[in-house]
Amino acid sequence: MCHSLHETAPAASGLAHPARVLVVDDNQALCELHAEALKLEGYEVVACFDGVDALEQLAADQFDLVVTDRIMPVLDGASMILALRSAGSRIPVVMVSGSLVQTPLPPGVAREISAALPKPARLREMLAAVARALALRPTTPP
């Protein structure tokens, strides 16, 4: 199940509207911490606790970026990213995961993400990775 956190701070990313970020992590406390930090930076945030719910949310709604964990029950972050790419989505992805230290990402997944941060990531580092990924994303003509 996903839930939305409404923006209360000025819009981040230099856009007229706040960038929409989907945060995905089965650790509910960490998911909500990342979501709240992004919200305080001015992003509009939706939080999901598994990859299946995240894919459903991404199919139903428009987002500018995904922040995801790697190891989750039901559908892990790597499989979720590959499913997004198979569906044609080029949405930037920032991965925050404790498993990155022990097990590197397969090359096919690694090249599909904007940044990979070891968990627990400092909030400042996660926010900087999000801002960089949003700044570098390809723009689509109106």
21 SS3 class = strand
Using CA atoms, how far apart are residues 89 and 100, in angstroms rounded to an integer?
24
Domain boundaries, the chain: 2-8+16-135
The pLDDT value given to residue 41: 96
pLDDT in tens, 85-127: 999 999 999 999 877 767 778 888 899 999 999 888 899 999 9
pTM: 0.86
| Superfamily of chain region 2-8+16-135 | Response regulator (3.40.50.2300)
Half-sphere exposure of 32 (CA within 13 A, CB side): 5
Per-residue exposure over 28-62, b if at least 16 CB sit within 10 Å of its own CB, e if not: eebbbbbbebbbbbbbbbbbbbbbbbbbebbeeee
pLDDT tens digits along 31-89: 999 999 999 999 999 999 999 999 999 999 999 999 999 999 989 999 999 999 999 99
